[in-house]
Amino acid sequence: MVFKRRDSRHWLTVVAHWFYPRGGWGRAIQYVKLRLHRLPGTPESIARGIFAGAFTVFTPFFGLHFIIAALIARVMRGNILAALLATFIGNPLTYLPIALISIHTGHFLLGTNAGGIGGHIGPAFAGAWRDLKHNFLAMFTPERAHWDELLQFYNDLFFPFMVGGIIPGLICGTICYYLSVPVIRAYQQRRLAKLRSKMNKMRMQAEKQAD
């Protein structure tokens, strides 16, 4: 195939690059910042997209962050590509603290017991996995499906995450918005000034050649 990679990567390499991109996270962050600065649109529309992406990473809907960020950006009339790029705030280095903040905030708002820092996370995931495995096998055997531990996972993790992610998501999105607007505006103005300077030089050169 024309677009197939010449060097097929082992799946372990793919996983490793997901946790630590080629060139390091610093280079990946610089790339995202550069892409954000060069996006078309007003600083406010780009910043609204960044707000949407930053807010989305505090939701428990992993695998759907791109879709959710794009929908929120569309509703807010923000830049959709900026929203997609901003979801990279959520990455293997930040997912754990984001999840802990959201879950504990959710338990606090709901008045439930979080079980200490990360107290329910391990047991809840293990129990949910056991139920999923059992229910899958039950489709091919006389066994009955079990939902108790999946319900416990929902009560201990998913629902508190969903509720608790709203406040820190709004805070993170708002901070990103107000930090982004002046930075993007300054970058656009500097880029426009360079473009005008370049156009003026080309015009002067053309006039000299004409003379």
pLDDT at 37 (0 to 100): 61
Residue 1 above 50 pLDDT? no
How is 95-107 classified by DSSP, letter by letter? HHHHHHHHHHHHH
* Tokens at 14, concatenated: 């793919």
Query: Could you read off the pLDDT of 111-134 as tens digits, one per residue?
Result: 988 777 767 788 888 888 998 998
Amino acid at the residue 74: R
Q: Higher confidence at residue 1 or residue 169?
A: 169
Q: Which is more confidently placed, 51 or 41?
A: 51
Q: State yes or no: pLDDT of 137 exceeds 70.
A: yes
The residue ranges of every structural domain in the chain are 11-187
The pLDDT of residue 2:
46
Contact 82, 181 (CB under 8 A): no
pTM (predicted TM-score): 0.75
- What is the per-residue pLDDT for 161? 94
Residue 158 has pLDDT above 80, yes or no: yes
> Span 150-169, mean pLDDT?
93
174: left (phi over 0), alpha (psi -120 to 50) or beta: alpha
pLDDT at 63 over 80: yes
Please state, in angstroms and as integers, the Cα–Cα distance from residue 72 to each residue in 48, 55, 169, following that order: 9, 9, 13
Average pLDDT over every residue of 152-157? 90
Give the percent of the chain with pLDDT over 90. 40
pLDDT of residue 33: 61
Q: Are 90 and 161 in contact (CB under 8 A)?
A: no
With CA atoms as reference, report the closest residue to 90 among 161, 152, 186.
Answer: 161
Identity of the residue numbered 20:
Y
| pLDDT for residue 128 | 87
Which element (helix H / strand E) includes 191? helix 166-210
pLDDT recorded at residue 3: 45
In whole angstroms, give the CA distance from residue 207 to residue 209: 5
